[in-house]
């Protein structure tokens, strides 16, 4: 669910970004029916998810978040990391987040039809509500978590998301600052391996 991170970690290839953004929607191991570069994006998505899910640092952060979200602690952490990526955007990109979000949303539209109707709804919501550019503000995060509540089961705990973020803000931000550069480097290496 960390859309901004998945996009940034894909490099500049929009087909790879599309596969990485919607990778959760592709089930099984055979996605050879997808265009080659989109399929590479799905592979990258799975690499990023595995990297994030197995990181010792992230496992510790999920333990802190578990009382709020239970098995959805990882989903909340992903979105929190997008918040901190937005807040620290200038360290990772030379163009503004607003311009990046506008370009990405415009240029990814042709790829949405390759994926499920759920992906299409998510993309439209992300685009129409300007999620990517709003991740850095708490009111923007409230919007994102409100939309997530519509998608996830009622027991996902997303109604607690802002409270949990405010309570553990410094801890999660420090975790992001330590972890994201590692993920970025490893994702760049994986991307090179795919091409």
Cα 44 from Cα 40, distance rounded (Å): 6
Nearest Cα neighbor of 105 from 80, 81, 73, 129 is 129
Domain assignments of the chain as residue spans, ordered by start: 3-194
Cα 186 from Cα 46, distance rounded (Å): 13
Higher-scoring residue by pLDDT: 71, 121: 71
What's the pTM value of the predicted model, to 2 decimals? 0.91
Mean pLDDT, to the nearest integer, of 94-104?
93
The pLDDT value given to residue 138: 86
DSSP state of 93: -
Which position has the token pair 């949303």?
105
Higher-scoring residue by pLDDT: 185, 125: 185
Residue 162 makes CB contacts below 8 A (sequence gap 6+) with 138, 141, 142, 145
User: Lowest mean pLDDT: which of 114-118, 138-142, 158-162, 173-177?
Assistant: 114-118
Mean pLDDT, to the nearest integer, of 84-110?
93
The pLDDT value given to residue 80: 96
Q: What is the pLDDT of residues 2-60, one digit of tens each?
A: 889 999 999 999 999 999 988 877 788 888 888 999 999 999 999 999 999 999 999 99
The pLDDT value given to residue 24: 79
- Nearest 5 degrees, angle CA 111-CA 39-CA 195? 115
């Amino acid at each position: 669910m960390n859309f901004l991170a998945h996009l940034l970690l894909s490099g500049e290839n929009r087909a790879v970004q599309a596969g990485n953004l919607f990778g959760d929607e592709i089930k099984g191991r055979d996605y050879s029916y997808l265009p080659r570069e989109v399929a590479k994006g799905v592979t990258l998505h799975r690499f990023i998810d595995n990297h994030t899910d197995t990181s010792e640092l992230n496992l510790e952060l999920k333990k802190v978040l578990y009382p709020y979200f239970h098995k959805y602690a990882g989903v909340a952490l992903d979105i929190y990391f997008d918040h901190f990526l937005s807040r620290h955007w200038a360290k990772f990109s030379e163009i503004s987040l607003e311009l990046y979000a506008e370009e990405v949303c415009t240029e990814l539209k042709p790829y949405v039809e390759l994926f499920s109707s759920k992906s299409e709804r998510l993309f439209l919501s992300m685009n129409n509500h300007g999620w990517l550019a709003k991740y850095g503000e708490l009111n923007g995060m409230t919007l994102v978590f409100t939309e997530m509540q519509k998608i996830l089961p009622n027991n996902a705990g997303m109604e607690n998301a802002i409270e949990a973020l405010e309570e553990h803000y410094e801890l999660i931000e420090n975790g992001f600052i330590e972890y994201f550069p590692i993920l970025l480097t490893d994702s760049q290496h994986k991307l090179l391996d795919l091409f």
